[in-house]
Structure 1
Amino acid sequence: MNKSIIPNLFTSANLAFGVIGITLSATGNTFWASICVLLSLVADGLDGRVARALGVSGPMGRELDSLSDVVGFGVAPAYMLYMNELQGLGWLGYLPLLVFSVLGAFRLARFNIKTDEVHGYFEGLPIPAAGCLAATYVLCGVQIPQLGLFVAMIVVGILMVSEVKYPDFKGHSAVRTNYIAVALVAIIVAAALVYDYHTWAVMVFVGYVLFGLFNTAINSVRK
């Protein structure tokens, strides 16, 4: 048996969970659609590790991974948020849906062509983090105003194609950690949890988003 089939099955599971999530959102079941996004994260985290362990990493797996990520972390969570809260906006509700999904695809395309240039950090918000931010927001059951969600989805889309540097947690980081940024994020997250501890899951990803922004901004000013 070709050993590359095994990691490709995990990658395909990422895609499959994305498709299932979309169908669940279409029927109004956004809770389980958000669970599918998190399951996509598990599958996405395993495929690369299994491929490296088996020594079968290659271009086929990388391309399939990106295509699956577009669905699992781009289209599926964006459509989930649209069905959960933005339907009432009519055609205007399509704007954040499209921005989130399309810019997520651009982010993955840029990642693929810059793998030899960018090391020790992520350039732009990783699409799995964006997708899981959406999923945990739904799971927490806390709703922000419709306009706030509209703007937030567009901002997240822009962050994915930005040059903001995010930690990749793969060992040595090429990004200097500024402790002022860490402190600011800690204060914001702590305040949010004091206000409503049910938001703990989404605040993990909010904290990651904010840390990249604050850390990049402070390091740029100091340069």
Structure 2
Amino acid sequence: MARRPREEGSRDLPLAKLLPNLVTLIAVCAGMTGIRFAFQGEYEWAVRMILVAGVLDGLDGRLARLMRSQTLIGAELDSLSDFLNFGVAPALILYFWSLYEIGGVGWMACLAFALCCVLRLARFNARSKEGTGGAGDYFTGIPSPAGAILALMPMVLSFNFGNEVLFPATMSAIYVVLVGLLMISQMPTYSFKNIRVSRNNAPFVMLGVVLLGSAVLIYPWATMVALAAAYVVSIAIAQVQRLGKKRKEG
């Protein structure tokens, strides 16, 4: 029996299929560059790099699903990128900014935050493989990108007041540890991936997004504070809804 010839180039990939992984690697570069800026004392640019990494993190998964190029390697890259960009980089940036002032205690706070981030990612990955996570209207605990932004809020607040350190290093250390604990907590937080908009409201939503993007470019730090405050309010609303649901079930 004659063997069927192998299809020529069957193992080749279109370059476009590599785009999601390239976006993930660029996000890693952004996180690493944020650490470099912090080491040089350019703290505003350090935080900007974490924001860039967050935007790219939101794009790579959507690109992979849109282009049907989801792979196991891509999933591993995304998880490792999240740990660097939203666990390691924010912790080091905060340490270089003010936590170094309290020595070992500040470093322990950074370690606690990074460890909480990696534990949160490990839990998410395990539940996704078991088919019990990664879907639905809620996350369990604060997602790592949101945790990174919240952890950096003491810095962002200081940027709004002429780069003056507004909080003692000890208070910032306690705050960072609390944010880390929220990441590994069991409390539900909103997942905004499944939000749907009616066709009639689509123009208003697009206008709002454009205006929000303009605000980020013109007033980046004040806008970040407002968005963080809105996110904290959404967490509180999610807890109230959970308690109401438990009461109805009980």
TM-score range, shorter chain: 0.7 to 0.9
Deviation of the 1:103 alpha carbon: 0.7
List gaps (5 residues or longer) in structure 2.
1-13, 197-220
Partner of 2:239: 216
* Greater RCO structure (CA 8 Å; 6+ sep): 1
Is 1:122 the equivalent of 2:135? no
Q: Aligned to 2:68, which of 27, 30, 55?
A: 55
TM-score, scaled to structure 1: 0.81
Contact 1:37–1:135 (CA<8 Å) still a contact in 2? no
Contact kept, 8 Å, 2:154 with 2:167, in 1: the verdict is: no
- Does 1:165 pair with 2:165? no
Q: Work out whether residues 137 and 202 of structure 1, in 8 Å CA contact, stay in contact via their aligned partners in 2.
A: no
> SS in structure 2 opposite 1:125?
coil
Matched, 1:139 2:162: no
Question: How far, CA to CA, are the matches of 1:211 and 1:110 in structure 2?
Answer: 23
Structure 1 unaligned runs (5+)?
Answer: 174-197
SS in 1 for 2:192: coil
- Tell me, in whole angstroms, the C-alpha distance in 1 between the residues paired with 2:94 and 2:155: 8
1:18 paired to 2:31:
yes
User: Are the counterparts in 2 of residues 7 and 48 from structure 1 also a CA contact under 8 Å?
Assistant: yes
Contact 1:10 1:47 in 2 (8 A): yes
Paired residue for 2:172? 149
Tell me how large the CA RMSD over aligned residues is: 2.1
- Is 1:40 paired with 2:90? no
Q: Distance in 2 between matches of 1:209 and 1:98?
A: 24
Other structure's SS at 1:68 match: helix
Counterpart CA distance in 2 for 1:46 and 1:97 is: 27
CA shift at 1:137, angstroms? 4.2
Residues 17, 97 of structure 1: alpha-carbon distance in 2 compared, 3 angstrom cutoff: same
Deviations 1:24-74 (A, max 9, x none): 111222111100000001111111111111111122111100100111111
Distance 1:32 1:132 in 2: 14
Residues 161-202 of structure 1 deviation map (CA, whole Å, 9 limit, x = unaligned):
0011111112269xxxxxxxxxxxxxxxxxxxxxxxx64422
Distance 1:64 1:34 in 2: 22
